[in-house]
Chain A
Amino acid sequence: MDDTHVEAFAEAASDGIAFDGIEAAVEGGRYVVETAAESETTSIADLDGLAASYPEYISNWYFWHAKAPQAEPRWAYLRWLENAESTPIPDRYDQLREGLTTTWGELSITVTLDEDDERVYDLRHVDDTGTDADSLDAYDDPLDARTLAKHDDRDRYRPLKTAPTLQSGWMFPELGPTELVQTVDFFYPATISNWHRDREGELDVTHWRDTVDRQTGIYGVVKTWDRGDGYEHVNWVAEACCDDSQCLKRREWQYDEETDLDVDGGSGEFPCREPCSLVIAGARQWTKLEGETSQTYEFELTPSEKEQIEDIIDAVADGEADDIREADIYEGANRYRTRFLRAKLFDDEGNPGGETEQ
């Protein structure tokens, strides 16, 4: 054990320590120690004796008081990663030596102990949990997470950090506690802070109505979408944008304080406290589109063609259009099938054939 750890512990013991299953005090020049694992108090004469008797408790105390970031949300998050509140020392150290893995969105975080019993954090994509380190690109600078978060595996821009499209193939193999929370925060900004507020019962949720009411400029128009006669349109927005398949945050905002939405908020570990800028940008467009009046259009489809249109909408909405194989003409949303439908039904102006407005 590092001498500085036991020295710091001994110094703190003079004011009394009670932390993670160990209590220590100084009485008559001797260290009086009691642990949750032992029923009796032990009296120890010197630092060497302390270090020899309680290495794990002391290293644990030192980590949480001198190494882990002290800001409450970060501290609590790191504690949560190793089930600190429910797993006592020394069991926790046994588990840490094996490695404790937690999933956070699409991130997989494994905390282990190195040869000096120091915590080391391994961070990678959840799909790479079992992947050999040699086949992953290794990073050590938390700032690199910003670059990795920018594009998906197909190099498409990710405007929403918590979309379930994080690219894989990378790892941060040896982060310290401060760097770990920084890196997580660059991948998923503010999720740790909001998770902590939520745990403490202090999450400041701003519901749809209040969010919409404060919009100005080009987004001010969204206010006019709420006409005081229901919130079905907001259900549609949440189903379109906030489903687990689109965003890994757990939606906590509702229509307003009294009116919950009817669609599921998702099962994400970290909460979403208000409609985000993508939702508002989408809502602006829908406000305009939904201002139009419905009309009746008449054109004929075979039953298979109707089914095909449903397939195309499903494939686009579920992001599966690109996965349909070129020659898989059995799929309604196949490109050749869709081109055939267009060739048959659409006239030169791109309208479905025989369209009449009634």
Chain B
Amino acid sequence: MDEALVIAAHGSHLNAESSTPTYDHADTIRATGAFAEVRESFWKEEPSFREALRTVDADEVYLVPLFISEGYFTEQVIPREFRLEDWDPELWDSDGTSATNATLTAEDTDQTVHYCGPVGTHDSMSDVIVQRAESVTGDSNVGEGFGLAVVGHGTERNENSAKAIQYHADRIRERDRFDEVQSLFMDEDPEVDDVADYFESDDIVVVPLFIADGFHTQEDIPEDMGLTDDYRTGYDVPTTVEGHDIWYAGAVGTEPLMADVVLERAADAGADVSSAIEQVREETGGGTTAAGD
């Protein structure tokens, strides 16, 4: 039976580039031929969450949220808008970073939907953060002599937002690859504004855990960290701030290896995509080893 992949992302009424990473990762997966159909869908753009399922013919759909954390969007908005019957967040049995998947029926189309946890809390996301650090430094062995800051929103809007940041920071720290790993936040301590205070290393890679580049990653964070007084004038990579070289990576979600995390989510839910995973990891620099430690 044909199977489809539907990616659910936020999108934007104002920012044309918000959808770009979603399109890019969808295209990477399309090219593998792992699914009969791949379709992007958006909260703020079209096809909307309400109508995305009817744009695919397959009876069986893997639905992967391109969101960073578990919470309001993944537990309330997406299941409601996709009309997933009998959804209950308990089905994921998650502590905030351990969502799995649930098989449900869409009320309006009768399609079987394997509703997966968001990309942001999948273990393989740690690999993408490290890969982002490699991309921004141009060094595939980056680690020694470097600190790594993983940056998130903080808990103001969603308590699980900070959890996802901490989770990956802890996992990467355990690998002993970087001299220091620290999670930083935009709206709570430890704040990204004081990035230099939290590291001893001369070089610090800063990776914001956001899906798309936009206001926060392109304007707020660079200005808050002192990379520039005015984001419009740009900044160097690295920029020296208080004696540290700051390598600012921009949104992790733009890293091509993100396509792998989408596939991993579908694979965990039962999709037969192992060769696609291998192909995507090969193409996007993720190597051929399985995700995780």
Contact = CB atoms under 8 A, between A and B. Distances in A.
Contacts of B46: 160-162, 189-190, 276
Given A157-B16, A204-B108, A217-B72, A190 B27 contact: no
B130 to A, nearest CB: 30
Interface residues of A, number: 29
Given A189-B46, A216-B76, A278 B54 contact: no
A189 B55 contact: yes
B271 interface: no
Given A143-B27, A217-B77, A277-B43, A190 B13 contact: no
B54 A193 contact: yes
B44 A277 contact: yes
B230 interface: no
B137 interface: no
Contacts of A216: 76-77, 80
Contacts of A214: 80
B52 interface: yes
A197 B51 CA distance: 12
B13 A281 contact: yes
Given A189-B51, A190-B51, A193-B51, A159 B44 contact: yes
B179 interface: no
B148 to A, nearest CB: 32
B198 interface: no
Contacts of A160: 46
A217 to B, nearest CB: 6
Contacts of B14: 157, 159
B218 interface: no
A277 B13 contact: yes
B15 interface: yes
Interface string B24-68: 000100100000000000011111101110110100000000000
B16 A190 contact: no
B23 interface: yes
Contacts of A143: 23, 27, 30
A102 to B, nearest CB: 20
Contacts of A197: 54
B12 interface: yes
Contacts of B15: 157
A209 interface: no
B77 to A, nearest CB: 7
A146 interface: yes
A206 B48 CA distance: 14
Nearest to B30: A143
A34 interface: no
Nearest to A159: B13
A150 interface: yes
Interface string B1-26: 00000000000111110000001000
Interface in A245-277: 273-274, 276-277
Contacts of B45: 159, 161, 277
A333 to B, nearest CB: 25
Given A146-B23, A157-B15, A274-B50, A190 B55 contact: yes
A185 B39 CA distance: 11
Contacts of B52: 189-190
A146 B27 CA distance: 12
A173 B13 CA distance: 31
A71 interface: yes
A206 B80 CA distance: 14
Contacts of B16: 150-151, 157
A157 B11 CA distance: 13
Nearest to A74: B57
Nearest to A276: B48
Interface string A144-179: 001000110000010111100000000000000000
Q: Which of B43, B57, B72, B76 has the most CB of A within 10 A?
A: B57
Contacts of B54: 190, 193-194, 197
B47 A190 contact: yes
A351 B14 CA distance: 29
Interface in A111-149: 143, 146
Nearest to A71: B57
27 contacts: A69-B57, A71-B57, A74-B57, A146-B23, A151-B16, A159-B44, A160-B46, A161-B45, A162-B46, A189-B46, A189-B48, A189-B51, A190-B46, A190-B52, A193-B51, A193-B54, A193-B55, A194-B51, A197-B54, A216-B76, A216-B80, A217-B76, A273-B51, A277-B43, A277-B44, A277-B45, A281-B44
- Lowest 4 A-B CB distances belong to which pairs? A189-B47, A190-B51, A157-B16, A71-B57
Given A143-B27, A143-B30, A277-B44, 9 more contacts: A160-B46, A189-B51, A189-B55, A190-B47, A190-B55, A193-B54, A193-B55, A277-B13, A281-B13
